[in-house]
Amino acid sequence: MKIAIITIFLAVTAFGFFLKYLTYSRRNAPLPDNVKDVFDAETYARNQAYKMEKLKFSIISGLIGTVVALAILLFNVHHWLYSVISVQTSNMYLTGLFIFMVPLVVASIIDMVVGIYDTFVIEEKFGFNKSTAATYILDFVKMMLIVLAFGAGLLSLFLLLYDLLGNWVFLAFFFVLIAFQLFISFITPLLIRVIYKLTPLEDGELKQKIEALAKKTGYKLKGIYMVDASKRSAKLNAFAAGVGKTKTIGLFDTLVEKMSHDEIIAILAHEIGHNKLQHILKRMPLEIIYVSIIAAAAYFVVALPQVSQAFGFVDANVVFGVYVLFIMFSPIDLVLDIPSNALSRKHEYEADAYAKKYSDNSDDMADALKKIYKEDLGNLTPHPFVVMMEYTHPPLSKRLAALEK
C-alpha cells in the first residue's frame, strides 16, 4: 500500500515536471500574427528572460517541495507527530489538528522562504516587486491565519460529524463543502481586505464612467474601491467580487496608473460579465460532480485501516486518511481539471464578448488585454497541451481572435 501511494505521488509529480518541460520547449516559438505588436524587440527579450527565470525557479522550488513531501511519506512523519501529541492528550480534535496542521505550517514556511527569492530576486530584477520584507512577512502571517482558521474549522467539523455519523460523514460533508464554496464567494471582498487596503474611489470622471457602466449593465454596486496593490507589485489587476450585499469592484492602483479610462471600463465590464452571465452558478454542476467523486473516494479510502497501517499507525486514522486521499485522488484530479479549465476558458471568452458589447469602443477590450500582457510580461506562446491541463484563461492570441469575430 505504501509503495502504491508513493508511486502515485511520484507519477503525478513527474507529470507536473513534464508540463514544465513543454513550456520550456516553446521558449522560441514564433509569435502569432495578432500579438506581434504587444512587445517591441527590447521588451520581448525581457519577456523571454522573465519567462525562463520563472520557469527555472518553479522547477527548483517544485523539486524542494517534492523532497519535503516524499520525506513526510517515507519517514511516517504523521505517525511520529501522532505519537508525540498522544502522550499529551487523547482528545481526537487536538490530535487530529496537530498531525494535520504541523506539516501544513512547515510546508507553508518552506514556501515562504522559497517565495522570498521569487519576490525579492526575480520579481525585483524585472521591476515588479514593490513589497518590503515587513509587508511580505505580514501578508504571509495573515494568509496563514486565514488558512489555519478555515482548515481547523473544516477539520473539526469533519471529526465531529465522523464521530456522530461514521462513514455517512462523507455524504454529509458533500453538502458542507458545497455550502463552504458558496460562503467563500460571499465573503471574498472581506478576505481581500485582510491583505489589501481598500479606499473608496474619489469622485471624478472614472467613477462616473464606472457608475454609468453599472447602471447600463444592471450591476448593483456596494462600492468602488482603489486597492493599494502598488505596495506589493507593479502588476495590473481588477476585480468584481462578492454576491448580494457584498458586491464590490476593486481597481488596483497600478491598473489606474497605466490604463486609460476606456480600457479600465472594458476590464470592469469583463468582470461584471462573469457575474451577469452567472458563471459561478454555471460552474456549480461541475463542482458538484467533483465534490461527489471526492466524497465517494473518501468513503472507501479515509477509514481504511490498511492505509494508515502502511505508514506506522496501529489502526485507521481518519485525519491521515484525508491526507492520503488527496494523494490517491490526484490523478483523477488531473483528469477532472481538463473539463473544468475548458469551461473556465469558455467563460473568459463570454466575458470578453460581454465587455466588448458594453465598452464605448469596440477595440477597448483588446487594447486592455494587450496592455496587461505587455506590463505583466505575460506568456504569448504557451504550449497547447499545457493550456488544456492548466490554463483557466485562453492564450491572448485566441482571446483577440475571438474578439475580432
CATH number at residue 259: 3.30.2010.10
Q: What is the pLDDT of residue 229?
A: 92
- List the one residue out of 348, 339, 336 whose CA is nearest residue 393: 348
What's the order of all strands across the beta sheet hosting 238-241? 198-200, 224-227, 248-252, 238-241
Final residue of a domain: which of 210, 239, 274?
A: 274
Q: Tell me the backbone φ, ψ of residue 261, rounded to 5 degrees.
A: -60, -40
CA distance 337 to 345: 12
Residues 252 and 298 in one domain: no
User: Which range, of 10-19, 60-69, 279-288, 305-314, averages the lowest pLDDT?
Assistant: 279-288
User: Please, are residues 112 and 140 in contact by the beta-carbon 8 Å criterion?
Assistant: yes
**Residues 250 and 267 placed together within one structural domain of the fold:** yes
What number of CA atoms fall less than 13 Å from residue 13's CA on the CB side? 20
Give the chain's domain count: 2
| Closest residue by Cα to residue 376 from 254, 203, 216 | 254
Instruction: Decide which of 244, 274, 304 is a domain's last residue.
Output: 274
- Compute the average pLDDT of residues 250-270: 93
Q: What is the pLDDT of residue 69?
A: 93
Same domain, 43 and 166: yes
pLDDT grade for 284, boundaries at 50, 70 and 90: confident
Find out whether 240 and 248 touch, Cβ atoms under 8 Å: yes
Same-domain pairing of 232 and 370: no
The distance from CA 11 to its chain's CA centroid, rounded to whole angstroms, is 22
- Separation between Cα atoms, residue 9 and residue 3, nearest integer Å: 10
Chain center to CA of 235: 17
Question: Are 227 and 149 within one domain?
Answer: no
Q: What is the pLDDT of residues 199-256, one digit of tens each?
A: 999 999 999 999 999 999 998 877 889 999 999 999 998 888 887 778 888 999 999 9
Confidence of residue 391 (pLDDT cuts 50, 70, 90): very high
Q: What is this structure's pTM? A: 0.89
In a shared domain, residues 168 and 205:
no
Final residue belonging to a domain, choices 274, 295, 326: 274
* 130 CA to centre of own chain: 21
Residue 222 and residue 344 in one domain: no
Is-contact 361 2, C-beta < 8 A?
A: no
Indicate whether 85 and 170 sit together in one domain.
yes
Q: Which residues contact 20 (CB under 8 A, 6 or more apart)?
A: 55, 58, 59, 62
Integer distance in angstroms from the first to the last C-alpha of the chain? Answer: 53
Q: How far is CA 375 from CA 38, 58, 71, 86, 349, in A?
A: 10, 21, 40, 53, 21
Together in a domain, 191 and 240: no
Least confident of 81-85, 108-112, 220-224, 251-255: 220-224
Query: How do residues 313-329 score in pLDDT, each as one tens digit?
Result: 998 899 999 999 989 99
Q: How confident is residue 364, by pLDDT bands cut at 50, 70 and 90?
A: very high
* Grid cell digits, residue 393: 484563461
pLDDT at residue 288, rounded to an integer: 87
Domain residues for 253? 199-274
Residue 236 sits in the same domain as residue 190 = no
Query: Do 268 and 325 fall into the same domain?
Result: no
| DSSP conformation letters of 282-319 | HHHHHHHHHHHHHHHHHHHHTT-HHHHHTTT-SS--HH
